[in-house]
Structure 1
Amino acid sequence: MIKTVNRLLLALVGLVLVVVGGAVLAAGLGASVPSWWPFGGPDDVLLSKADRTRWRDEGWWWPAVIAALAVLVVLTLWWLLAQLRRGRLAEVLVDSGDGEGALLRGRALEGVLAGEAGGIAGVSDAKVALTGKRTAPRARVRMRMEPDVSPGQALRGLSEGALDHARASAGLEELPAEVRLRAVKHSAQRVS
């Protein structure tokens, strides 16, 4: 989702900058611009002194400016924090019994989980992503299933197999998982 928001924001800012910059450049070069455009030609200013000081004496002006700037700061901080947050877990802390612990790469655990989940009968493909904290990881599993397999059977195999093995090998008390199942698209078989 964050990639989509980033692309939309960049596209919107880019479009606004290109349109405004192009209109200012066109007016500066003497081309005709719409009558509502504040910049009329090469000898004109963008904002006159009267336009800049028109609202200062109004009682609502400064609270509105401060509120708009506060909203802008909050949105900018939210966007910055969203950039810094990782979508996937880089490492899992494994209790080694010596009080220090050991670090297990998140990608390695994801690969093992995906391999074991893909080996379940009737599962054609499995993808795993670890999220959460390194002391309390969560798994997001996507499995593509063959048409003749029961979803309950595949979930039981995942829960009793791959997830239990990962939980035991990493020394975790629990490994919650969100599982999404999809059927593999297949063509109809002809009977002759």
Structure 2
Amino acid sequence: MLRTVNRVLLGLVGLLLLVAGGSVLAVGLGAKPPSWWVHDGRHDVLLSDSARTRWRDEGWWWPAVIAALAVLVLLTLWWLSAVLRRHRLGEVLVDTGDGEGALLRGRALEGVLSDEAGQLDGVERAQVRLTGRRRAPEARMRLLLEPHVDPGDALHGLTTEALAHARDSAGLAALPAEVRLRGVKHRAERVS
């Protein structure tokens, strides 16, 4: 959902900037603006001296401006951190049983889990992505099932074999997983 919000917000901001900049450029090049537009002609400025200094002496003006800019900066920083945040777990902390821990690369655990899930009966392809924290990873899996397999059987095999092996080998108390199942669609073939 964040990707959709990101694209919509960037699209709206880009469209607003394009329309505003294009209209100012068009008026600056000599196009006749509509009567409601903010400036009248080529040599007119966007903000006059009186418009710029109108609220300067009011007591609420500067706190309101500073609060609005602070909110804008916080929203921009939140958006930037959401865009730059890694969506894939880099490493998993494995409990070695002696009070210490070992770090396991997240991609390695993803590969093993994907290979083991792909070898289950009726699974044509498996994709795994680890998310969450180092001490509490979560798996997001996509399984492409062959047409003859029962999805319940495939899901049971996945939880009792592949996920259980990954959880036990990493010494995790739990390995929650979101599994998306999709069936293979074969094209009709002509038999002669």
Q: Which secondary structure does the structure 2 equivalent of 1:52 belong to?
A: helix
Aligned ranges 1:96-107 → 2 under 5 Å:
96-107=96-107
Structure 2: unaligned runs, 5 residues or longer: none
Shift of 1:30: 2.1
Please, which moves more after superposition, 88-97 or 7-16?
A: 7-16
SS in 1 for 2:92: strand
| Amino acid in structure 1 at the alignment position of 2:75 | L
Q: State the distance in 2 between where 1:152 and 1:30 align.
A: 69
52-61 vs 3-12, which moves further: 52-61
Please give the secondary structure, in 2, of the residue aligned with 1:134.
Answer: coil
Question: Greater CA deviation, 141-150 or 23-32?
Answer: 23-32
1:11 Cα offset (Å) = 2.7
Cα offset, 1:74, TM superposition: 3.8
Q: CA RMSD in A?
A: 2.8
Displacement of 1:182 in angstroms is 1.4
In the other structure, the counterpart of 2:4 is 4
1:72 Cα deviation from its structure 2 partner: 2.4
* Paired letter, 1:137: P
Of residues 70-79 and 24-33 in structure 1, the stretch that sits farther from structure 2 once superposed is 70-79
* 1:15 Cα offset (Å): 2.2
Aligned-partner Cα distance in 2 for 1:106–1:119: 20
Query: TM-score by structure 2 length?
Result: 0.84
Aligned counterpart, 1:148: 148
**Do the aligned partners of residues 47 and 114 (structure 1) sit closer, same or farther apart at CA in structure 2, a change above 3 Å counting?**
same
Q: Percent same amino acid at aligned positions?
A: 71
Deviation at 1:181, TM superposition (A): 1.2
Q: Give how far 1:56 is off.
A: 5.8
Give the paired residue count.
Answer: 192
TM-score, L = length of structure 1: 0.84
> Structure 1 residues 56-65 or 182-191, which shifts more?
56-65
Structure 1 gap ranges (5+): none
Cα offsets for 1:15-74 (capped at 9, x unmatched): 222222222222222222222221222321111233234456778866765664454234
**Cross-structure match for 2:116:** 116
What SS is found at the alignment partner of 2:12? helix
Structure 1 residues 48 and 108, CA gap change in structure 2 (3 angstroms): same
CA drift at 1:111: 1.1
